[in-house]
Amino acid sequence: MWFSKTAEDVLRETQVNRDKGLSAKEAEARLQQYGENKLKGKPKKSLPALFVAQLRDVLIYVLLGAAIITIFIGEYTDAVIILFVVVLNAVIGVVQEYKAGKAIEALQKMTAPKSLVRRDGEVKEIDASAVVPGDIVVLDAGRYVPADLRLIDSANLKIEESALTGESVPADKDASAVYKDPKTPIGDRSNMAFMSTLTTYGRGEGVVVGTGMNTEIGRIAKVLDEAGDEMTPLQKKLAELGKILGYMAIGICVVIFAIGFFQKRDLFDLFLTAISLAVAAIPEGLPAIVAIVLALGVTRMSRINAIVKRLPAVETLGSVSVICSDKTGTLTQNKMTVLHFYTHDHLENVPKEGTAAAQTKDQKALIQTLTLCSDATYEDGESTGDPTEVALVVLGDKYHMPKKMLEAGHERVGERPFDSDRKLMSTLNKEGNHYRVHTKGAIDNLLNLASHAFIDGKAVPLTEEMKSRYLKQAEEMSDKALRVLGAAYKDTDHVIEPEEMETDLTILGLVGMIDPPRIEVREAIRKAKKAGIVPVMITGDHQHTAAAIAMELGIADSRDQSLSGSEIDALSDEAFKKKINDYRVFARVSPEHKVRIVSAFQSRGNIVSMTGDGVNDAPSLKRADIGVAMGITGTDVSKDASDMILTDDNFATIVHAVEAGRNIYNNIKKTVIFLLSCNLGEIVTILTAVLLFWPVPLLPTQILWINLITDTLPAIALGVDPGDPAVMKKPPRNPKESFFAGGAAFRAILGGILIGVLTLLAFSFGLSEHGYGLRSGNIPDDVMAYAETMAFVVIAVSQLFYSLAMRSEIRSVFQIGLFSNKYLIGAILIGMMLQFVVISVPFLSEAFRVQMLTLRDWVIVIAFSLTPLAANECIKIITRLRREEK
């Protein structure tokens, strides 16, 4: 019952010094003693369980049924091959699922919540899972509480505890409170902070008194497991397609049985033919291969600093038409530097190098307020905290007023933290025998709250003429793309409440600082615009500053394309939606404005990506089609609400992610069209032979081999095809567009027919070599085996070669680069080698009822197999010529 003990008693019992925290050695020892700070989740599936799950499929049931029947009939070789294929397919599925799971686990580790702890006298950021009992945890707005804490310090601290208590209103916290009643409800324990709750306001410190399952949330066994099995819209479509093809296969099987019955064919052969057709018609590997391609794509995206949390986001990325981005840190370098500061009627330039001295009392008071009203630190060239505040502390250091020296004589006794609605921050510090409120923030907000101005070392009443001078100077700085921050103070003879701090202020002046644009952003914006994507800047900065930077970066063409938060408020939702496409810059906006901006763009049919880093950005991140959180400056809440996290907080990474998303979708499309072409080729071969009363060229075991080896290897290789360099020269994909749009269906049908017809021609050629035809009766077994071998090798090799044609809809395989996808070349070579092994190794050739081919036969096979690829390349030439004519 830690809530019933004082902070000092808790620190004594946990054996920790509040100023130094635990040592690294002690923390490691406690981690070994208490274990990782994690709730026990659902147990992972074991490998045997994964294996059994692979067998729960209608197609597998059909194959197992076929194996049982072949055993009864005495066709033991066929039964062994069918069972081998089933087991091998399951093993491949297990390996793929295991690898995909590992990849997703690795990404989840990268997005794991972080915690600020004090160890060895320094505040460090560590994984929340490494927090141990006795750790001193630092809390600030936007962070999840990593474990159960007994608070030892609190300043206007509010924590939202709905995850534990169900109470949505944040609870006020007071570290000094002590509750002697052992039955004090959880919601009333204001001196405690609980695991998985959220800091929404203020700051505080607490000592960890419970981790993992020894926390309040652990005791009620609330397991917070994110659903990782969500199918993407594309996977759902493909699963549906698989079902339709399955029903079609069953229908065709019934028809074949009926036709075969009237043709008086052998019922056993008919049964095997029907199974062959069922296997050929159902692209059983489709959903699994698509899942692998997505997982591989997501892993590759993590290497370009974009961590995708939800697989459907990859598909959506390819359709993004508007990117709404924060300015600070995303479009800019997040390295603020003060260039000028202004006190009434006096503008001072800050030297780039070296130090300087404040010339007047006004300047000294301005720098002192800005330095004291900051949570950042700067010592020996090392800084921590918000970049804007770091710039102010560096300014103090440059003017011989280092923060550490100022704080020694002006101890902080109270504060009102910054929030995006007020756009202000205030601290209450000792000032001799009284107290002084130091306030910094938006200059226009400060002027509204001020009644006096500090001029020539004394406070004088603030006139409208003075206000206009301050505002004019702010506007001039903004026109130079500087960020403007004002400062004010108020003296009081006693400690006052935070709500009383920001009234009747005395204005001191303002500073102009710049955060230079990122070098790579201008090129990324140009690339985005070329790809039909509209980049939009959203910032809390002054409208002039925002517009100047937007014009410098190429986001906006003129200041008329900028809109302020107050102007947004003046527009009705309908009017705002009508005008939304006219604007590229939104300045002085609050988080509520962000939601309106996203909704307005979406109402015009746009797919919107939105960046955010603060607690209040969560609604707009959720509202956007792709919510993008900042990995460096982002709060846990924003990361939790997002679909994607940027580990480098860089706008260029969003554009790279969109490009990667487009390429991943295109690769999946190539894979699917290729697999459907292959399956259709098999259907054409068997169905034509049955309908025309010809011998069936392919056995069920041979088709199973083709589907498992020939199709799968190139399909996965196509899934990791290098990106199309022209992908960002095309407009965004319409999310409602059919998967088979743009001639994809035609290519699938054409490829299937070509492969099927060539297989039948190869079969016919094999028969004619020995003087037989397709309608000949009593064909000897050795002749039939030779013809079937020709058909078997041609259908396999033609599919391998045809995969090269799938790499581009328009460009020739030589234009792309024959060896630019080494995985695909490897898959083709391995596939051909395996075909050679199957027909050459005696026990395998007997099992598959094939025979060795001569060198002449191989030349003929290659010639047949290259025909579908050659035909497709000719069609590409015609298509290119037609496009050039247009």
Query: Considering only CA atoms, which of 277, 273, 275 is closest in space to residue 696?
Result: 273
Angle at which helix 286-302 crosses helix 233-262, to 10 degrees, equals 160
How far, in Å, are 84, 124, 272, 870 from residue 69 at the CA level? 15, 67, 10, 42
Residue among 644, 642, 667, 618 at smallest CA distance from 304: 644
C-alpha torsion angle, residues 745, 746, 751, 756 (rounded to 10): 90
C-alpha triplet 580, 586, 590: angle, nearest 5°: 110
* Helix, strand, coil fractions of the chain, as percent rounded to 5: 50, 15, 30
Which contacts qualify for 17-23: CB closer than 8 Å, 24 or more apart?
18/136, 18/152, 18/205, 18/207, 19/118, 19/121, 20/118, 20/120, 20/121, 21/117, 21/118, 21/119, 21/120, 21/121, 21/135, 21/136, 22/119, 22/132, 22/134, 22/135, 22/136, 23/119, 23/120
Angle at alpha carbon of residue 570, lines to 566 and 575, rounded to 5°: 125
Residues whose CB falls within 8 Å of the CB of residue 276, separated by 6 or more in sequence, listed in order: 682, 686, 696, 698, 699, 700, 703
Paired with 173 in beta bridges are none
DSSP string, 856-880: HHHHHHHHHHHHHHHHHHHHHHHHH
Q: HSE of 43 in the Cβ direction (CA atoms, 13 Å)?
A: 5
Q: How far apart are CA 151 and CA 157, in angstroms?
A: 10
Q: State the burial class of residue 337 (Cβ atoms within 10 Å of its Cβ: 0-12, 13-18, 19+).
A: middle
Query: Which residues share a beta bridge with 343?
Result: 346
Determine the Cα–Cα distance for residues 844 and 858; give it in Å rounded to an integer. Answer: 19
Inter-axis angle of helices 781-805 and 855-885, to 10 degrees? Answer: 30
Residue pair 804/813 in contact by the 8 Å Cβ criterion = yes
- Residue 615 CA, distance from chain mean position: 19
Pairing label, strands 322-326, 534-538: parallel
> Residue 401: which of 432, 366, 429, 376 has the closest Cα?
366
DSSP state of 332: B
HEC letters along 187-221: HHCCCEECCCCEEEEEEEEEEEEECHHHCHHHHCC
Residue 190 has a CB neighbour count (10 Å cut-off) of 20
Annotated catalytic residue: which of 326, 386, 636, 721? 326
State the Cα–Cα distance between residues 128 and 139, nearest whole angstrom: 12
Cα–Cα distances (Å) from 285 to 500, 713, 715, 803, 842, in that order, read 67, 11, 10, 16, 29
Looking at the DSSP bridge assignments, the partners of residue 458 are 455
Q: Using the structure block, give the residue that is written with the tokens 């603020």.
A: 336
Q: How far apart are CA 411 and CA 372, in angstroms?
A: 9
Does the active-site annotation cover 582? no
Active site residues: 326
